[in-house]
Amino acid sequence: MDFMLMKTFKETARLMNITRAADSLGYAQSSVTAQIRKLEQHYGVPLFERSGRGIRLTPGGRQLLEFAERFLDLAEESMQAVSAETAGSITIGTIESMAAFYLPPYVREMKEKFPSTGLLLQTANEAELLHGVRTGEYDAGIWLERDIADPELVRVILKEEPLLLVARPDHPLAGAQTVQLADFAGHAWVAPERSCSYRSMLSELLAEHGIRPQLSCELGSVEAIKRCVLHGLGMSLLPGCAVASEIRDGRLTVLPFAHPRLRIYVQLVYPAGRWVSRTLAAFMSMLRQPAQSE
């Protein structure tokens, strides 16, 4: 038996409404319909039938519901037992900037409050993280992304992260009242690698306005980008958490640039329908709170 199919069937049987079941499970309505159809094909009988404006269980559906409830109860019991045996070990996939500048105080707090917990951080690019979350390589992923819905994933928005255009204090645009998109054609841009979400957002905007940016460097490391900016190789759009220290000590300055479409969020992501362990739930709860000061 497939756990997710049985969970979808049970929730649909409880609510007797596919649309409401989809909302409850965080799926698209078409996904719930497809899962019910898959079960019906597997057992060779219809599980629901129309009843006025709603649906009701067929005799076969009522019989399957008894087995589904027992199956899901047993699955939950086994998950709790395995969770206790593993002492709540979790693996979190994340991007370099989150691992370096956002997550450390939360990881420290987690280890202080739950010393028996095993929490492993692994870094990768966004595409690799998404694949790892879907396949179960990671219990969850934490990255920076625009607010995009995906019916197959649960996305927990932890906070909006400001995107700041930074440069050396002696940069020609440091004294400007405002920086426009057109300025990227006349001033060097130290860019993240192409797979970076906020690089993609800015590139899309520039392309829509017919602006060809003056690309200085294209780097996969936030630290490398900052070093290039500090050496006067151009300006760069980076998450606020990644440049807070350099701004605070005056080595970098924030240029007056903003655009309503350049909004990005720290998100924790895991597959819809996957059981959330008590350890992961505790970590998620911590991430929703301001980090403890050092």
Shared domain for 24 and 107, answered yes or no, is no
> Does residue 95 contact residue 143 with C-beta atoms inside 8 Å?
yes
Query: What is the pLDDT at residue 85?
Result: 44
> Do 269 and 235 share a domain, yes or no?
no
Q: Are residues 269 and 154 in the same domain?
A: yes
In the predicted model, is pLDDT for residue 293 greater than 80?
Answer: no
Count of structural domains, the chain: 3
Are residues 232 and 283 located together in one domain of the fold?
no
108 or 149: which leads in pLDDT: 108
* 129 & 270 share domain: yes
User: Residue 207: which domain range?
Assistant: 163-263
Question: Which CATH number covers residue 11?
Answer: 1.10.10.10
Residues 24 and 69 placed together within one structural domain of the fold: yes
Is position 9 within any domain? Answer: yes
Distance CA(2)–CA(4), nearest Å, equals 6
The answer to the question of residue 46 being in a domain is yes
Indicate yes or no: pTM above 0.85.
Answer: no
Q: What is the pLDDT of residues 158-184, one digit of tens each?
A: 999 999 999 999 999 998 999 999 999
* Whether 65 and 156 share a structural domain: no
pLDDT single digits (tens) 242-255? 999 999 999 999 99
